[in-house]
Amino acid sequence: MSLQLPELPYAYDALAPAISSDTLHLHHGKHHKAYVEKANLLLAGTEFATLSLEDIVVRTATKRSSKTMAALFNNAAQAFNHGFYWRSMKPGGSTPSGQFASRIDKDFRGVDRFLTQFTEAATQVFGSGWTWLVLDRGKLRITSTANADTPLTRGHVPLLTCDVWEHAYYLDHQNRRPEYVQAFVNSLANWDFAAANLERAELKLAAE
């Protein structure tokens, strides 16, 4: 079973002007597609070929001393990260509400404080990487990962992510990452997706 490039959950022009159609065509149709294709080439004939994408990422993370396994991890992890990123956005965005907002208030002492911390974390990532909202041992946390790394390798449950690789924003915002991050937080972030991920994770934990 080969990995597949997921379709975007919205039209290519649906996130404009914060993220243009040109950026999404390049980011999804070129970058994400290339990660999926390279991962499939590296998976062929390996013990990981029948695993889910998440399991491939976790299983290869500990084998990165091998150049081949490092390449497989990087491409599989980027395929996962990008698929998660597309779902972390929606046209017009949303705001934390209901029980999810209550959890944020509990763990970050207020929604506004949380959004400020998330914005600062994403803006301050050095080089290429990702900023995430995760569930870590029952508590919400903001964390950042470099390059292709992902919370899956740390035992965290990802709830939402912002891609801060330059190819995510350079066509629209050039080197003004803070401008892109503000647009992500204010008009793109899909906190309903994050809330659903949190509810699913906590139901799973309760059942274990």
Name which residue leads in pLDDT, 132 or 1. Answer: 132
pLDDT of residue 206: 81
Question: What letter does residue 155 receive in the DSSP assignment?
Answer: T
Backbone region of residue 4 per phi and psi (left: phi > 0; alpha: psi in -120 to 50; beta: other values): beta
What is the four-CA torsion angle of 8, 10, 14, 15, rounded to 10 degrees?
-60
User: What tens digit of pLDDT does each residue of 140-195 get?
Assistant: 999 999 999 999 999 999 999 999 999 999 999 999 999 999 999 999 999 999 99
pTM: 0.96
Structural domain of 60: 21-87
Residue 12 lies inside a defined structural domain of this protein: no
- Statement: residue 137 has pLDDT above 80: yes
What pLDDT, in 10s, does the model give residues 70-112?
999 999 999 999 999 999 999 999 999 999 999 999 999 999 9
Query: In b/e form, how buried is each residue of 167-184, taking b as 16+ CB within 10 angstroms?
Result: ebbebbbeeebeebbbbb
Is there a single domain that holds both residue 79 and residue 110? no
Q: Return the CATH number at 34.
A: 1.10.287.990
- The label of the residue with tokens 């390996």 reads 46
Residue 37 has a pLDDT of 98
**71 & 105 share domain:** no
Last residue of a domain, one of 87, 107, 140: 87
pLDDT at 1 > cutoff 70: no
Tell whether 82 and 105 lie within a shared domain.
Answer: no
123 lies in the same domain as 149 = yes
Residues 119 and 168 both lie in one domain: yes
